[in-house]
């Protein structure tokens, strides 16, 4: 099976992405690729952060790799927390405080429309290609559910009447931003593999 490095050690994302790519690609995390490195996300767009991560790994390893950056964009907060989703309340990855802060800012706000957005940067032979996935939904008034990570307990995807944290991983993966971006990436990779197979 083809191997590809996923420029992340975020176990939640790795588990989700492995499940989506099961049987198609073997995913290596940074640690598994022998890289003890924490890549910063210094930019103010998801595209540039994803590109920074994938290019850093490509320069170190010289093999195909991809990175993603995701976030929750809330209409009533002009797209916040967006690119700052992981560190909205100050400390990177403090999900509980991030949720608390978001619910606080949304107090009294009726427009709860929001979306999760994922941007993937895939580097092959030194060339970058972006893939985007969007999942529309609303911000709940209170937390519900135990599954998932990040803002899952307060995000209700369009078409369901429960939060992502109340969904099974199959239910979340059927509609999630990450799954949509990965599907686009896979379609592109499989198409390309077919074209080069046919040329042989």
Catalytic (active-site) positions: 69
Contact status: 52 vs ligand IMP (CB under 6 A): no
Contact status: 153 vs ligand IMP (CB under 6 A): no
| Three-class DSSP category at 168 | coil
20-28, 85-93, 106-114, 188-196 -> range binding ligand IMP (CB under 6 A): 85-93
Closer to ligand IMP at the Cβ: 41 or 80?
41
Question: Do 166 and 142 touch, CB atoms closer than 8 A?
Answer: no
Q: Among 57, 64, 102, 150, which residue sits at the site for ligand IMP (rule: CB under 6 A)?
A: 150
Strand order in the sheet with 127-139: 25-28, 2-6, 65-74, 113-124, 127-139, 155-157
Contact status: 151 vs ligand IMP (CB under 6 A): yes
Question: Do 178 and 17 touch, CB atoms closer than 8 A?
Answer: yes
Distance in angstroms (rounded) separating the CA atoms of residues 34 and 43: 26
Closer to ligand IMP at the Cβ: 7 or 123?
7
32-40, 59-67, 70-78, 187-195 -> range binding ligand IMP (CB under 6 A): 70-78
* DSSP calls for 37-98: ------SSSHHHHHHHHHHHHHHHH-S-EEEEEEEEEEGGGTT-BGGGGGGTTSSTT-HHHH
- Minimum distance from residue 132 beta carbon to ligand IMP (Å): 13
Q: Name the site residues for ligand IMP (rule: CB under 6 A).
A: 10, 41, 69-72, 85-86, 93, 98, 116, 148-152, 164, 176, 178
């Amino acid at each position: 099976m083809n191997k590809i490095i996923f420029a992340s050690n975020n176990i939640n994302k790795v588990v989700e992405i492995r499940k989506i790519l099961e049987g198609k690609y073997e995913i290596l995390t940074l640690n598994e690729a022998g890289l003890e490195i924490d890549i910063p996300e210094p930019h103010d767009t998801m595209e540039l952060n994803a590109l920074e991560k994938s290019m850093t790994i490509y320069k170190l390893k010289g093999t195909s790799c991809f990175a993603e950056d995701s976030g929750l964009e809330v209409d009533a907060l002009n797209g916040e927390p967006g690119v700052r989703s992981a560190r909205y309340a100050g400390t990177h990855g403090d999900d509980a405080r991030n949720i608390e802060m978001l619910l606080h800012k949304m107090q009294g706000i009726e427009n709860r429309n929001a979306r999760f957005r994922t941007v993937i940067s895939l580097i092959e032979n030194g060339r970058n290609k972006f893939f985007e996935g969007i999942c529309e939904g609303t911000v709940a008034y209170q937390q519900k559910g135990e599954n998932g990570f990040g803002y899952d307990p307060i995000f209700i995807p369009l078409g369901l009447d429960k939060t992502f944290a109340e969904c099974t991983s199959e239910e979340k993966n059927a509609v999630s931003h990450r799954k949509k971006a990965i599907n686009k990436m896979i379609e592109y990779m499989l198409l390309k593999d077919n074209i080069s197979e046919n040329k042989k």
